[in-house]
């Protein structure tokens, strides 16, 4: 089933939750809505569920406008952020709740509930009450409950945010497995970029009620359409650079091509991922190591450039030995095209030079989230 | 940890326990002693056996129980939809509801009754030629004075509101509602099958507090001239002191019995009620008669 948001607008008093959202989720895909809090992702999801109504715009499911259909007839299973199981019902009764609403017979309900509980890995928990289960188990039951009615679309509203880190990772893998097994169109709201990148087929990054970019996780990471996306997804360094007339950018004493071509000359910020920066201990180097944080396989080294800019560099941990805080070092970039972002308000930077289409708004690129 | 703390000498806990126990038990023990110790005769249960034969006992108790039942229906019927509405769709009105429900605490019941009796007096005079005259007569029917139900409902608002509000705080009403709706329940079914069952404890609490209030209420019943249970106890006290105290002791026991019945009714139907169904101890017993 295809879900299509068409120029959705919604304001809560003075705040615009959605400001012209256009987005499509294709049949059978897991689409993640990612963005900082207040970007409208949850509002969009709740509109699809029927709990909010757009001020203008349409929501189409398989091409049909569902605006007039009340929430309980929308055929959408939903898992909520907070624990939402009915406390007075056992796990099996919770899962069967939707079937009871549809007047499915008791025997059939029991059978289906048992089936779903084993699907989410909790076959022996049928008689437990919500307060007798852990947070992760409760969310699994909630997932089973959402799937029990064979909904056309599965809505996940930050279902993992209340869980601890380990459970979060296993459960998100499980959600992905189930979703692929059942081929159900799924919209997954999250503010956790790692969660979005690791589970979704496509990720829609939202900001201020609008879509910034919707692309596959790899594309989003490698070629972010706007500076906002670049900085929201993963970590980005901003290095001062200068675009020359020949379209190359001068950064860290190197001359590198600009990805997507330079559209302006003058002062820019060069955006580079920490893993794309090279740092070497060098007693004659002008840069200085400020800190090194061990993250297991990689060590994140913070380096201060002579002009005061700090750069985050990910170094494979077994090579990080000489990079202790206080050591002198040199920093360089590999010979590859780089992404540049005009300095906000900087003279001579008429337009942004980001890959793909670029909005002036995106280039203001403050850190968010 | 718990074991460590309990091992350390907390002698004052015992002292506080004993003092509190004395404070509650001595008056009760004294009451009981007073009722069973007939001067010159020694131990006798005649005060208790006398209750059943005393004129008006069954009648007034029945009247008070009926009034309590009606009041509970009215109060819950008014408050549950109001509190749910404030939770779900009009959170801005919450302070208003809170103030309205707290007002009866500020207005002493004597003032309330004064207002009632004034209205009951001039109402029929002004409305003598309209059908409303009959209404005024009907609400004051001594067999079942509706006017008392109205008054008690107002007086029970603060208690019932607190109980319901506390219950609503403990469950996430909005999420339960939305979860039920996404499972295909209409608004009504969501309220009745997902929300209200989880408010059973709060509903029982509210009902019990109301019941306790009505059984013990004296001022309004007396000033408006109805023979409710509390009024009857005071009246009988003037004639037979021992009997009246015996009735008080008995009414305490009756109230406890009702409390237990309500609490068990709550437990039996929902095996999940971890929060004890009735957590607020009632301040029953007509104080006026003690």
Residue B181: closest C-alpha in chain A: A72
Q: Mean pLDDT across the stretch B243-266?
A: 79
Q: Say yes or no: B197 contacts chain A, CB-CB below 8 A.
A: yes
Tell me: pLDDT of A348 over 50: no
pLDDT one-digit tens code per residue, B126-159? 777 777 777 777 778 878 888 899 999 999 999 9
| Of residues A50, A88, A142, nearest to B198 (C-beta) | A88
- DSSP per residue over B251-262, as a string? HHHHHHHHHHHH
* Residue bearing tokens 């055929």: A75
* B159 contacts: CB under 8 Å, gap ≥ 6: B206, B209, B210, B213
Residue B218 sits in a domain whose CATH number is 1.10.3720.10
Shortest Cα distance, chain B CAs vs residue A88, angstroms: 6
Range in A12-26, A82-96, A312-326 with the lowest mean pLDDT? A312-326
ipTM, two decimals, is 0.79
* Subunit contact A86:B270, Cβ cutoff 8 A: no
Single out the residue of B71, B102, B57 nearest to residue B213, CA to CA. Answer: B71
Q: Which residues of A108-127 are buried (b: 16+ CB within 10 A; e: fewer)?
A: ebbebbeebbebbebeebbe
Determine the residue among A43, A71, A154 to mutate to test chain B binding: the one whose Cβ has the most chain B Cβ atoms within 10 Å.
A71
Q: Give residue A8's region: left, alpha or beta (phi > 0; psi -120 to 50).
A: beta
> What is the C-alpha to C-alpha distance for residues A156 and A145, in angstroms, rounded to an integer?
12
* Subunit contact B271:A101, Cβ cutoff 8 A: no
Domain spans of chain A, in order of start: 3-222, 227-273+336-369, 278-332
Q: Could you tell me how far CA A255 lies from the centroid of its own chain?
A: 33
In a domain, B2, yes or no: no
* Residue bearing tokens 């609503």: B168
Q: How many CA atoms lie within 13 A of A224 on its CB side?
A: 25
Single out the residue of A93, A79, A96, A54 nearest to residue A174, CA to CA. Answer: A79
Determine contact, residues A206/A39, Cβ cutoff 8 Å: yes
Q: Say yes or no: B181 contacts chain A, CB-CB below 8 A.
A: yes
Q: A71: which chain B residues are within 8 Å (Cβ-Cβ)?
A: 178, 181-182
Q: A91: which chain B residues are within 8 Å (Cβ-Cβ)?
A: none
In a domain, B29, yes or no: no
Q: How many CA atoms lie within 13 A of A163 on its CB side?
A: 24
Tell me: pLDDT of A349 over 50: no
* A365 contacts: CB under 8 Å, gap ≥ 6: A226, A227, A228, A230, A231, A341, A344
Q: How many CB pairs under 8 A join A and B?
A: 75
The pLDDT of residue B268 is 55
Split at pLDDT 50, 70, 90, the class of B80 is: very high
* Residue bearing tokens 């779900």: B88
pLDDT one-digit tens code per residue, A4-22? 999 999 999 888 899 999 9
* Subunit contact A129:B272, Cβ cutoff 8 A: yes
* Subunit contact A86:B172, Cβ cutoff 8 A: no
Single out the residue of A287, A278, A263, A280 nearest to residue A339, CA to CA. Answer: A263
In a domain, B230, yes or no: yes
Alpha-carbon torsion angle A4, A1, A35, A239, nearest 10: -90
> What is the C-alpha to C-alpha distance for residues B7 and A202, in angstroms, rounded to an integer?
60
A3-12 and A15-25: which strand pairing? antiparallel
Tell me: pLDDT of A27 over 70: yes
Shortest Cα distance, chain B CAs vs residue A78, angstroms: 6
Question: Which residues 19-38 in chain B show a CB within 8 A of chain A?
Answer: none
| A269 exposure class (CB count in 10 Å sphere: 0-12, 13-18, 19+) | buried
Q: Does CATH place domain A3-222 in 3.40.50.620?
A: no
> What is the C-alpha to C-alpha distance for residues B165 and B168, in angstroms, rounded to an integer?
5
Range in A45-59, A148-162, B118-132 with the lowest mean pLDDT? B118-132
Tell me: pLDDT of A341 over 70: yes
> What is the C-alpha to C-alpha distance for residues B193 and A201, in angstroms, rounded to an integer?
37
Single out the residue of B263, B162, B282 nearest to residue B214, CA to CA. Answer: B282
* Subunit contact B175:A88, Cβ cutoff 8 A: no
Q: Roughly how many angstroms between the first and final C-alpha of chain A, as a whole number? A: 31
Split at pLDDT 50, 70, 90, the class of A362 is: very low
* Subunit contact A84:B197, Cβ cutoff 8 A: no
* A315 contacts: CB under 8 Å, gap ≥ 6: A279, A298, A299, A300, A301, A323
* Subunit contact B176:A71, Cβ cutoff 8 A: no
Q: B76 is written with which tokens?
A: 């819950």
> What is the C-alpha to C-alpha distance for residues A157 and A41, in angstroms, rounded to an integer?
9
Tell me: pLDDT of B241 over 80: no
Determine the residue among B179, B198, B199, B272 to mutate to test chain A binding: the one whose Cβ has the most chain A Cβ atoms within 10 Å.
B179
Shortest Cα distance, chain A CAs vs residue B185, angstroms: 6
**Count of the separate structural domains present in chain B:** 1
| Of residues B178, B200, B271, nearest to A51 (C-beta) | B178
Determine contact, residues B142/B56, Cβ cutoff 8 Å: no
* Residue bearing tokens 């749910």: B84
Q: Say yes or no: B276 contacts chain A, CB-CB below 8 A.
A: no
| Interior angle at CA B242, CA B66 and CA B212, nearest 5 | 30
Q: Say yes or no: A154 contacts chain B, CB-CB below 8 A.
A: no
The pLDDT of residue A344 is 61
Which range in A157-171, A335-349, B47-61 is most confidently predicted, on average pLDDT? A157-171
Q: Could you tell me how far CA A123 lies from the centroid of its own chain?
A: 32
The pLDDT of residue B259 is 75
pLDDT one-digit tens code per residue, B150-193? 999 999 999 999 999 988 888 889 999 999 999 999 999 999 99
| Of residues B175, B185, B271, nearest to A72 (C-beta) | B185
Q: A146: which chain B residues are within 8 Å (Cβ-Cβ)?
A: 182
* Subunit contact A101:B183, Cβ cutoff 8 A: yes
Please give the CATH number for the structural domain made up of A278-332.
Answer: 2.40.50.140
Task: Give the E-state strand segments of chain A in sequence order.
Answer: 3-12, 15-25, 30-34, 56-61, 64-65, 76-79, 153-157, 185-190, 202-207, 210-215, 237-243, 248-251, 254-257, 266-272, 278-281, 287-294, 298-304, 310-316, 328-332, 339-342
Question: Within 10 Å of residue B246's Cβ, how many Cβ atoms?
Answer: 26
> What is the C-alpha to C-alpha distance for residues A293 and B171, in angstroms, rounded to an integer?
42
> What is the C-alpha to C-alpha distance for residues B217 and A268, in angstroms, rounded to an integer?
80
The pLDDT of residue B6 is 52
**In terms of residue numbers, what domain contains B171?**
37-289
Tell me: pLDDT of A135 over 70: yes
In a domain, B176, yes or no: yes
Question: Within 10 Å of residue A333's Cβ, how many Cβ atoms?
Answer: 18
| B207 exposure class (CB count in 10 Å sphere: 0-12, 13-18, 19+) | buried
* Subunit contact A71:B274, Cβ cutoff 8 A: no
In a domain, B236, yes or no: yes
Q: B259 is written with which tokens?
A: 């409390």
């Amino acid at each position: 089933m295809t879900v299509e948001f068409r120029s959705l607008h919604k304001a809560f008093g003075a705040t615009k939750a959605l400001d012209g959202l256009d987005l499509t989720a294709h049949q059978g895909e897991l689409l993640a809505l990612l963005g900082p809090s207040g970007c409208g992702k949850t509002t969009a999801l709740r509109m699809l569920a029927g709990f909010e109504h757009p001020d203008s715009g349409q929501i189409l499911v398989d091409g049909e406008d569902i605006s007039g259909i009340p929430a309980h007839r929308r055929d959408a299973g939903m898992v909520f952020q907070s624990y939402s199981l009915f406390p007075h019902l056992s796990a099996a009764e919770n899962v069967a709740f939707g079937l009871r609403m549809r007047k499915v017979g008791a025997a059939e309900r029991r059978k289906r509930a048992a089936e779903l509980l084993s699907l989410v890995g909790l076959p022996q928990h049928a008689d437990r009450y919500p307060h007798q289960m852990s947070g992760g188990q409760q969310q699994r039951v909630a997932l089973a409950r959402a799937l029990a009615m064979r909904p056309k679309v599965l809505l996940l509203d930050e279902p993992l945010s209340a869980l601890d880190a380990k459970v979060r990772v296993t459960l998100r893998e499980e959600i992905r497995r189930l979703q692929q097994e059942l081929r159900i169109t799924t919209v997954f709201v999250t503010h956790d970029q790692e969660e979005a990148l690791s589970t979704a087929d496509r990720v829609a990054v939202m900001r201020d009620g609008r879509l910034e970019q919707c692309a596959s996780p790899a594309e989003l990471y490698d070629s972010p359409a706007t500076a906002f996306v670049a900085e929201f997804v993963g970590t980005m360094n901003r290095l001062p650079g200068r675009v020359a007339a020949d379209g190359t950018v001068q950064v860290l004493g190197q001359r590198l091509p600009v990805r997507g071509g330079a559209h302006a000359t003058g002062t820019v910020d060069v955006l580079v991922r920490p893993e794309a920066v090279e740092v070497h201990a060098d007693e004659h180097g002008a840069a200085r190591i400020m800190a090194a944080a061990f993250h297991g396989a990689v060590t994140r080294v913070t380096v201060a450039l002579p002009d005061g800019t700090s750069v985050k560099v990910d170094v494979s941990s077994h090579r990080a030995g000489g990079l202790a805080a206080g050591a002198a070092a040199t920093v360089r970039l590999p010979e590859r095209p780089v992404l540049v972002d005009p300095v906000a308000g900087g003279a001579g930077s008429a337009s942004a030079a980001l890959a793909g289409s670029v909005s002036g708004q995106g280039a203001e690129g403050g850190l968010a989230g | 940890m718990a074991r460590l703390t309990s091992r350390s000498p907390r002698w004052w806990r015992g002292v506080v326990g004993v003092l509190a126990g004395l404070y509650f038990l001595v008056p009760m023990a004294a009451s009981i002693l007073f009722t069973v110790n007939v001067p010159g005769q020694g131990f006798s249960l005649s005060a208790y056996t006398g209750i059943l034969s005393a004129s008006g006992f069954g009648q007034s108790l029945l009247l008070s129980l009926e009034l309590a039942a009606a009041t509970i229906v009215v109060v819950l019927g008014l408050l549950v939809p109001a509190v749910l509405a404030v939770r779900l769709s009009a959170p801005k009105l919450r302070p208003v509801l809170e103030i309205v429900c707290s007002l009866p605490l500020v207005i002493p019941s004597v003032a309330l009754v004064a207002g009632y009796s004034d209205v009951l007096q001039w109402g029929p005079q002004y409305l003598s030629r309209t059908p409303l005259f009959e209404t005024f007569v009907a609400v004051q029917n001594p067999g079942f004075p509706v006017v008392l139900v109205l008054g008690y409902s107002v007086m029970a608002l603060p208690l019932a509101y607190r109980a319901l509000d506390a219950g609503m705080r403990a469950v996430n009403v909005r999420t339960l509602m939305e979860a039920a709706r996404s499972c295909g329940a209409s608004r009504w079914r969501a309220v009745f099958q997902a929300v209200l069952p989880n408010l059973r404890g709060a509903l029982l609490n509210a009902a019990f507090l109301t019941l306790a209030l009505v059984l013990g209420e004296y001022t309004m019943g007396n000033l408006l001239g109805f023979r409710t249970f509390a009024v009857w106890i005071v009246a009988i006290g003037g004639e037979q002191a021992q009997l009246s105290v015996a009735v008080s002791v008995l009414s305490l026991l009756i109230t406890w019995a009702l409390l237990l019945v309500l609490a068990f009714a709550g437990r039996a139907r929902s095996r999940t009620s971890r929060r004890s169904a009735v957590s607020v101890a009632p301040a029953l017993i007509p104080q006026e008669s003690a």
